[in-house]
């Protein structure tokens, strides 16, 4: 066997490298056979379709895109991907207002390109290739912004808010409950705004549904009363979960008052700010997060309101030792060997392999700077208020939940129609607005009605957009009556 | 305020887009101020340093790389990143043999570039933008390869093996143990090869250390005996964890025999094949995974032996309903509403936000094809055997663990030296081999000695490398005696 035959595999990989070298500039600017190019993917033009259509034909076609036996040309596979994602929902389109929209900026994509090439393993220090130091420094910056004690606290990048909430409540359990035989006595307090990941977490930790108590609005007096009763009954109040910016309406639980109750009763205070923690960075509205510095743990998603692509969440914990107690690789970490000071990332969470998520966020923050980040967050708040003002000025439109944390809920409810008709009209407004590429607004049930919900945080929205979008929706509403 | 002032933010983002458009071609090919370019990052030349040096100066410098108040030019931040990662460990360098090396190929990087621009949210169907269908089809392909029943089984991409192992054991618990009050009776059986993520999982699930029993080599007779005794004592045998390719030595627990014991006693059989499951795709060695089709769950990391960058693990579960029982968003999913058939990804695991990890793997497999993938895996097995043969032919070198699943453990042990000296010599060989850029080999404790461990799975290794690397290490060994 000659050398070429023996080295067919590395030679083929070298050919692949050359092909990629050749393809990349074209791919990025001219998008292969798609005139948009990848930069346009990452930063869509406002005129681009907010949502493509997934036809049953294209759904069926993806079935054929299985793994072939033989190699395929790279450009063919890229074109297949284009074809698949033609039906995509552009959650980072400036006129996408459903769910929590993606606020991804093109710098986030650039960071992904650079970081993915370096392929750092952020599980530990050695393979972390100094990116671990960047993550640690970045987390310290956030810790300072939250107001946690810098020497004791720790931050960790995770895939998202559900993971962060899970880890926080695991740490809370291990702080307050010792021994599996006592788990059935633990109680977690939540409000009606609490994200479903909390009840899922409770189930995964092995708790039964009645160990999670919903206190409406987490009213402090009621909370304190229920806690006292639970203690009397021999139960162990373990954690209170306050929401900083609910997904539906941007609601904020009364954090300072709940913090006081938690302190008094020595209960873990977790703040689920997956969406809302970014308000800390707002020069004009940071007081909405007042009390967050008293928490034991904070969830904060950079892919929500910090302009990152998906998969960039963060968990902050007041005392690093709480996370280590629950997650360190060796259960004897507190053995006085000094190992604690040398904790690796894998000692702080479930993951060993961790992609370098936080480096992307470092790129974004470093390129934009904190002042610009603050202005971009403020812009969302202001734009949502302008949407509210404009909807209020319209005949037959009601504001059911005013702009809070850049989330607004409105409803078109003309006189002389019954509730079912009105629900249908609002659904039709949402459908038509999407079809005409005016806006993606979300139909939600709120106070028993079908309403139109908008989350207005994309910083690329133009100052003329609220007027033009509201007017266009008003026109659709009038048309829908005929 | 004029329009330009009002729209300063979207205008600045547009400028950023233009700057990125301008920077990208240069960045990819010429690497800004680093002559390597990003493609060379992703696909390092064999002559590139396997490991840079992190000086205390550069560690100190990262402290200054915090978040600034004002914006910074993109190219400055990229150059900072280059500077930081100059000290990186290239785990995907062809001569990196420590840990489980990264086998990332440049096509994995290309896929990251394309997928990151599209920014799909793989938590659910709508924002999944058809990428969800691609993931589902890809997982079905793997399910077929494992031999699970296609209609019942499910696969899910996760960040890595630790997450997959955690989810598998959570599902096992919920299958076999009902009610938190019974958790203290659960027992998990492992071998001495079991990864530390299993004992961490047990702790997070609230179990005490004595609920995890180590059975040496998972010998089937011993396992059956211990299970019967545990049952007699009123305990609940819950899961057996078999290892398919241990991290240290590539060891495989006796899967078919353990499967028989599990079946007999109705215990969840989990196979931790984070490293070794890829052997299924080998045309010559797939029989090493015999019995895997009888498991309840299988862990499989694509960032280990499937040529992906980090953060691309997979969990496969025989019955989809097992995952839904543990992780569905609503605890009443089995209410007969038919919702089960409509499970979203967020009903199958801890995560709601899920980046599109599996699409990268789809790119890799589709471009290479299954035959080439199989050949690349076989090449690792063959190369490790050639390393073994060459070490065996050397005077004073011993093979302590023969090439198994492409992992080899050797030791230089010249006569007339005591064990402490020999440990030191082997450490010196590892240090010198790295310093001379010959190879990164790992010092491990094995059978009480310091040994040299190599994991030989990078498909870019040339056919002449085993000879030249072994000879160079032998020379270092001889030098170390003088």
Burial class (CB in 10 A: 0-12, 13-18, 19+), A176: middle
Cβ contact, residue pair B163, A351, below 8 Å: yes
CA distance A128 to chain B (A): 7
CB A287 within 8 A of CB A310: no
CB pairs under 8 A between A and B: 428
Q: Place B128 in a pLDDT band, splitting at 50, 70 and 90.
A: low
Averaged confidence pLDDT in chain B: 92
State residue B339's pLDDT score: 45
For position B229, what pLDDT does the model report?
Answer: 98
CB contact under 8 A, A21 and B29: yes
Q: Touching check for B375 and chain A: CB below 8 Å? A: yes
> Are residues B441 and B281 in contact, defined by beta-carbon separation less than 8 angstroms?
no
More confident residue, B30 or A431: A431
Report the b/e string of A11-31 with b at 16+ CB within 10 A.
ebbeebbebbbebbeebbeeb
Query: Where do we find the tokens 């060379």?
Result: B40
- Neighboring chain B residues of A347 at a CB cutoff of 8 Å: none
Q: Is B231 helix (H, G, I), strand (E, B) or coil?
A: helix
Give the three-class secondary structure for B188.
strand
CA distances from B369 to A426, B365, B374 (A): 49, 5, 9
Within B343-446, residue ranges assigned H as helices are 357-392, 419-435
In degrees, rounded to 5, the angle at the alpha carbon of residue A74 between the alpha carbons of residues A12 and A30 is 135
Nearest to B73 by CA among B42, B33, B116, B110: B33
Of A89, A309, A365, the CB nearest to B129: A89
Q: Looking at the complex, does the CB of residue A43 fall below 8 Å from at least one CB of chain B?
A: yes
Note whether B365 contacts A: Cβ–Cβ < 8 A.
yes
Q: Is A417 helix (H, G, I), strand (E, B) or coil?
A: coil
User: Between helices B357-392 and B131-146, what is the axis angle to 10°?
Assistant: 40
Inter-chain CB proximity B84 and A133 less than 8 Å: yes
pLDDT at B124: 76
Percent of chain B with pLDDT over 70: 93
The CATH-assigned architecture of domain A121-355 is 3-Layer(aba) Sandwich (3.40)
At A180 the pLDDT is 80
What is the rounded distance in angstroms from the CA atom of residue A356 to the CA atom of residue B205? 27
* Two domains, one topology: A28-52+88-105+369-482 and A121-355: no
| pLDDT, mean of residues B196-208 | 94
pLDDT of residue A334: 43
Residue A395 distance to chain B (closest CA, Å): 28
Whether the per-residue pLDDT at B33 is higher than 60: the answer is: no
DSSP assignment of A93-127: STTB-SSS-----HHHHHHHHHHHHH---TTSSTT
| Closest C-alpha to A367, from A142, A116, A106 | A106
Q: Which CATH number describes the domain made up of B110-367?
A: 3.40.640.10
What residues of chain A score a pLDDT lower than 70?
30-36, 54-59, 126-129, 331-341
CB contact under 8 A, B370 and A29: no
Q: CA–CA distance from A287 to each of A170, A242, A260, A292, B478 (Å)?
A: 29, 16, 17, 10, 68
Interface of A with B in 83-112 (CB under 8 A): 84-85, 87-89, 91-92, 94, 99, 102, 104-110, 112
Show the DSSP H helices in A187-245 as ranges.
196-204, 220-232
Q: What is the pLDDT of residue B394?
A: 97
Give A310's contacts in chain B (Cβ within 8 Å).
119-122, 353-356
Q: What is the pLDDT of residue A266?
A: 97
The 10 Å CB-count burial string (b at 16+, else e) for A216-241 is eebbbeebbebbeebeeeebbbbbbb
Nearest residue, CB atoms, B205 vs list A23, A206, A310:
A206
Confidence at B337, pLDDT banded by 50, 70, 90? very low
pLDDT at B54 over 90: no
Angle A406-A410-A412 from CA coordinates, rounded to 5°: 155
Q: In this complex, is the C-beta atom of A309 within 8 Å of any C-beta atom belonging to chain B?
A: yes
B175 contacts in chain A (CB < 8 Å): none
Q: Is A266 exposed, middle or buried (0-12, 13-18, 19+ CB in 10 A)?
A: exposed
- The stretch B393-414 carries a mean pLDDT of 97
Q: Which residue of A has its CA nearest to B101?
A: A127
- ipTM of predicted assembly, 2 dp: 0.95
**CA-CA distance, B469 to B433, in Å (whole number)?**
9
Question: In the prediction, which pLDDT does A343 show?
Answer: 82
Contacts of A376 in chain B (CB under 8 A): 9
- How many other C-beta atoms lie within 10 A of the C-beta of residue B482? 4
Assess if CATH 3.90.1150.10 describes domain B369-481: no
pLDDT at B47 over 70: yes
Mutate to test the interface with B, among A12, A19, A129, A356 (most CBs of B within 10 A): A129
Is A9 within 8 Å of B91 when comparing Cβ atoms? no
- Residues B264-296 have pLDDT tens digits of 999 999 999 999 999 999 999 999 999 999 999
Residue A264 host element (H or E): helix A255-265
Q: What is residue A338's predicted lDDT score, i.e. its pLDDT?
A: 43
Question: Percentage of chain B surpassing pLDDT 90?
Answer: 77
Is B347 at the interface with chain A, CB within 8 A? no
Task: Report the distance separating Cα A352 and Cα A346, nearest Å.
Answer: 5
List of chain B residues whose C-beta atoms are within 8 Å of the C-beta of residue A107: 16, 20, 74
Are B459 and A80 within 8 A, CB to CB? no
* Residue-level pLDDT at A111: 95
Q: How confident is the model at residue B220 (pLDDT cuts 50, 70, 90)?
A: very high
CB contact under 8 A, B88 and A129: yes
Rounded to whole angstroms, how far apart are CA atoms A147 and A88?
Answer: 40
Task: Express each pLDDT in A363-389 by its tens digit.
Answer: 999 999 999 999 999 999 999 999 999
Asked if residue A143 lies in contact with residue B124, where contact means CB atoms within 8 angstroms, the answer is no
Q: Which residue has the higher pLDDT, B226 or A63?
A: B226
| CB contacts, 8 Å: B29 with chain A | 21, 24-25
Q: What residues in B contact A74, CB-CB < 8 Å?
A: 107, 110, 367
pLDDT of residue B135: 92
The Cα–Cα gap between B58 and B87 comes to 8
B183 touches chain A (CB under 8 A): yes
Give the containing element (helix H, strand E) for B272.
strand B268-272
Picking from A24, A40, A77, A119 by the largest number of B CB atoms within 10 A of its own CB, the best residue to mutate is A119
Interchain CB distance below 8 Å, B163 and A350 = yes
Residues of A in contact with B108 (CB under 8 A): 116
Residue A339: its pLDDT value, please?
46
Mean pLDDT over B173-198 rounds to 93
Domain boundaries, chain B: 3-88, 110-367, 369-481
The domain over range A28-52+88-105+369-482 is classified in CATH as 3.90.1150.170: yes
Interface touch A42/B16, C-beta < 8 Å: no
């Amino acid at each position: 066997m000659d050398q070429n035959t023996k080295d067919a595999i590395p030679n083929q990989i070298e050919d692949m490298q050359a092909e990629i070298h050749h393809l990349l500039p074209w791919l990025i600017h001219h998008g292969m056979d798609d005139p948009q190019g990848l930069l346009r993917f990452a930063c869509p033009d406002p005129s681009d379709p907010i949502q493509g259509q997934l036809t049953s034909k294209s759904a069926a076609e993806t079935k054929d895109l299985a793994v072939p036996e033989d190699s395929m040309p790279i450009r063919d596979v890229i074109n297949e991907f284009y074809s698949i994602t033609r039906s995509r929902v552009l959650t980072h389109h400036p006129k996408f207002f459903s769910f929590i929209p993606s606020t991804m900026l093109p710098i986030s994509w650039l960071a992904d390109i650079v970081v993915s090439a370096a392929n750092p393993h952020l599980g530990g220090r050695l393979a972390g290739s100094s990116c671990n130091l960047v993550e640690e420094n970045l987390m310290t910056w956030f810790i300072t912004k939250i107001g946690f004690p810098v020497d004791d606290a720790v931050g960790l990048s995770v895939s998202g808010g559900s993971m962060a909430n899970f880890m926080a409540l695991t740490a809370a359990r291990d702080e307050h409950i010792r021994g599996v035989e006592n788990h059935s006595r633990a109680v977690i307090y939540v409000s009606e705004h609490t994200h479903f990941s909390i009840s899922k977490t409770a189930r995964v930790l092995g708790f039964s549904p009645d160990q999670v108590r919903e206190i409406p609005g987490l009213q402090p007096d009621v909370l304190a009363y229920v806690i006292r009763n639970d203690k009397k009954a021999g139960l162990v109040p373990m954690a209170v979960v306050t929401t900083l910016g609910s997904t539906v309406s941007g609601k904020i639980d009364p954090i300072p008052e709940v913090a006081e109750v938690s302190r008094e009763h020595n209960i873990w205070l977790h703040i689920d700010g997956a969406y809302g923690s970014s308000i800390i960075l707002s020069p004009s509205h940071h007081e909405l997060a007042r009390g967050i510095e008293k928490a034991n743990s904070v969830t904060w998603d950079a892919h929500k309101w910090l302009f990152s692509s998906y998969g960039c969440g963060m968990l902050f914990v007041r005392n690093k030792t709480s996370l280590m107690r629950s997650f360190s690789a060796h259960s004897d970490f507190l053995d006085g060997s000094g190992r604690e000071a040398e904790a690796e990332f894998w000692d702080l969470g479930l993951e060993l392999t961790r992609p370098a998520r936080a480096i992307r966020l470092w790129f974004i923050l470093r390129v934009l700077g904190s002042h610009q980040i603050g202005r971009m967050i403020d812009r969302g708040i202001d734009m949502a208020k302008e949407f509210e003002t404009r909807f209020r000025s319209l005949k037959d439109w009601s504001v059911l939940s005013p702009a809070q944390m850049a989330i607004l809920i409105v409803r078109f409810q003309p006189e002389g129609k019954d509730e079912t008709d009105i629900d249908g009209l609002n659904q039709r407004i949402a459908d038509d607005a999407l079809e005409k590429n005016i806006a993606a607004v979300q139909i939600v049930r709120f106070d028993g009605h079908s309403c139109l919900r908008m989350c207005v945080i994309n910083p690329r929205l133009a100052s003329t957009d609220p007027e033009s979008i509201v007017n266009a929706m008003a026109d659709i509403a009038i048309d829908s009556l005929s």
